[in-house]
Amino acid sequence: MGGWAALMIAGLLAGSAPDAAAQGSASSPTLSSQWPPASACRFEIVGTGTVRSILDGRTFALDDGREVRLAAVEAPSLPRPDDSGAKAVTAAAKSALEALLGGQSVQLRQSAPATDRYGRMLAHVHFTRDGIERSAGHEMLAQGYARVGAHVGNAACAAELLSRERAARAARLGLWASPYYGILEAASGAELLASRGRFTVVEGKVLSVRESGGTIYMNFGRRWSEALTVTILKRQERIFTEAGLPPKTLQNRRVRVRGWVDERNGPRIEASHPEQIEIAELN
């Protein structure tokens, strides 16, 4: 094991909070004082501003009109009109971000220039409270109101973020207490298909790894229609191997995968970044 995977495991072990349950609850978000200061994701400052309004659990507007999204994390947003469960978790995540950033002066940090498809800046957002500089993304993860995203882009940063998510999940903090938000079982095809279009974390045993037509298929069931399939383009195999996650070595391992579920003859997640895959029994 080496590369990205080794860095993430080291970060998970080093970053475990002594008492995750003390960091907050679903009804009363608090600052995660148990954690050491965020450092691995402390990139170059590219801007500053004052938060004018919170738009959803990871998006806000500054007083100069710029819209910013928290980089490297995902929070529930834009629920379907008839989905009461989605509405509840979306509202809770938005309230948690409001408690952190409402009216705050913030620093915007990036490892490289980045915007989303709508032109919103993607940034690691830092603010100071009680004389301590804090990261909004780290706080949202530690309180259980966000999950690590599919693209972090830095191994040490990903390890630091995943350690916060892991502790919050184990303590069932924030949204992790809701069955709507939990980890889905890879063999549960119907439940996965009901999550089409959503960012989801899925866990299960890889039954087989096959290659066909320039694509690597990690199959979690004997029938594609009944269980998750994770796809990796053959040309991207090298980045997973360099990260310590050669796809073909994951057969018969229990893994955790994060990404957006779509349907192609069954539920599927496309993996293009190493941080999307964790070996579950190691963390």
- Which class in CATH covers the domain with range 3-177? mainly beta
Report the alpha-carbon distance of residue 85 to residue 37 in Å, rounded.
Answer: 33
**Helix, strand or coil, per DSSP, at residue 119:** coil
The domain locations on the chain are: 3-177, 184-282
Q: What is the DSSP string of 69-115?
A: EETTEE---S--TT-HHHHHHHHHHHHHHHHHHTT-EEEEEESS--B
User: What would the pLDDT profile of 166-205 be if each residue is shown by its tens digit?
Assistant: 999 999 999 999 888 889 999 998 899 988 988 999 999 9
User: What would the pLDDT profile of 109-167 be if each residue is shown by its tens digit?
Assistant: 999 999 999 999 999 999 999 899 999 999 999 999 999 999 998 999 999 999 999 99
Fold of 184-282: OB fold (Dihydrolipoamide Acetyltransferase, E2P) (2.40.50)
Q: Model pTM?
A: 0.86
